[in-house]
Amino acid sequence: MDATKIRGKVVVITGGARGIGLATATALQALGARVAIGDIDEATVKESGAARDFDLYGKLDVTDAASFESFLDEVERTVGPIDVLINNAGIMPTGKLADEPDQVTRRILDINVYGVILGSKLALRRMLPRRAGHIINIASLAGETHIPGLATYNASKHAVLGFTDTLREEYRESGVRFSSVLPTLTNTELGSGVTAPKLLRPAEPEEIADAIAALIAAPRSKVRVTTVAGVISQVVGLLPEAVGDGIARALGASHAFLDDVDAAKRRAYEDRARNA
């Protein structure tokens, strides 16, 4: 990876207080990027930002247009024109759809889909006049498959992939690049209490961060992490439905986010994701 392609770039990361967002911010800062992180958790984002001396950090509600616009305005006023927006904020409550409260369904879609669309729209309006910029949307391998216990989350990540691919073609000659990142289950609070299906080890947030850094240095439409999980996802998707579903069941995917969830280990995340 050519770190000179990253040095000096102004990068905004949503959901940057912890997990993949924080790991990515830390990695990009080490490569010379100027980093701004926003998060709905104001106390944690300020703690994380101050500890690492990021260029800017503060509260950001990706579901609120005024909050998002204000945050981007502050970045451009104090750090510089935005080169890269990483729409990372997202939540993953688990459970069967019939048991999912409507407010949780709306919250997943508001953050995981509307937040990505809103952020992309606001960033595009800044990048298009300069004919330069890169919007990176954090999707999931769940966006290429179907996993019991994650119906609404799956739907949200399918939406992110379709949205990002459409923008890539819609603005093909604009100078703005669009990419999707598709992580497997990752060792962050979002994945707490969940055991990965067979053959699919959880990724570390630093692995996702490294993949994002490589994507900024050499843009392409999609990157899947881990490589093994990405290959399995793509291969299963090409198989006849009954065969693909049978393989997924054999790997344990039908129970990983339902019966096999350690509710006690996951409770703190579920409470925050559903009610924050």
Task: Please tell me what DSSP assigns to residue 113.
Answer: I
- Report whether pLDDT(52) > 90: yes
Q: How confident is the model at residue 199 (pLDDT cuts 50, 70, 90)?
A: low
Tokens linked to 244: 């693909």
Rounded CA gap, 166 and 155, in Å?
17
Q: Are 258 and 96 in contact (CB under 8 A)?
A: yes
**What is the distance between the alpha carbons of residues 49 and 67, in angstroms, rounded to a whole number?**
18
pLDDT in tens, 263-274: 888 888 888 888
Q: So what's the pLDDT on residue 22?
A: 98
Place of tokens 């930002």: 49
Strands 176-183 and 10-14: unpaired
Residue 193 is predicted with a pLDDT of 84
Count Cα atoms within 13 angstroms, Cβ side, for 115.
31
Q: For residue 61, is pLDDT > 80?
A: yes
CB-facing half-sphere around the CA of 156: CA atoms within 13 A: 28
Tally of helices (H runs) and strands (E runs) in the chain? 11, 7
pLDDT of res. 258: 83
Give the tens place of pLDDT for each residue, 136-147.
Answer: 999 999 999 899
pLDDT digits (tens, 9 = 90+) for 151-171: 999 999 999 999 999 999 999
| Overall pTM > 0.85 | yes
User: What pLDDT does 123 receive?
Assistant: 98
Residue 36 contacts by C-beta under 8 Å, 6 or more apart in sequence? 10, 11, 12, 13, 54, 55, 56, 57, 71, 75, 79
- Sign, Cα dihedral of 172, 85, 181, 139: negative
| Model pLDDT for residues 62-117, shown as the tens digit of each residue | 999 999 999 999 999 999 999 999 999 999 999 999 999 999 999 999 999 999 99
Phi-psi region at 79: left, alpha or beta (left = phi > 0; alpha = psi -120 to 50): alpha
Q: How far is CA 262 from CA 121, 196, 202, in A?
A: 38, 12, 16
Residue 252: which pLDDT band, with cuts at 50, 70 and 90?
confident
Catalytic residue list: 153
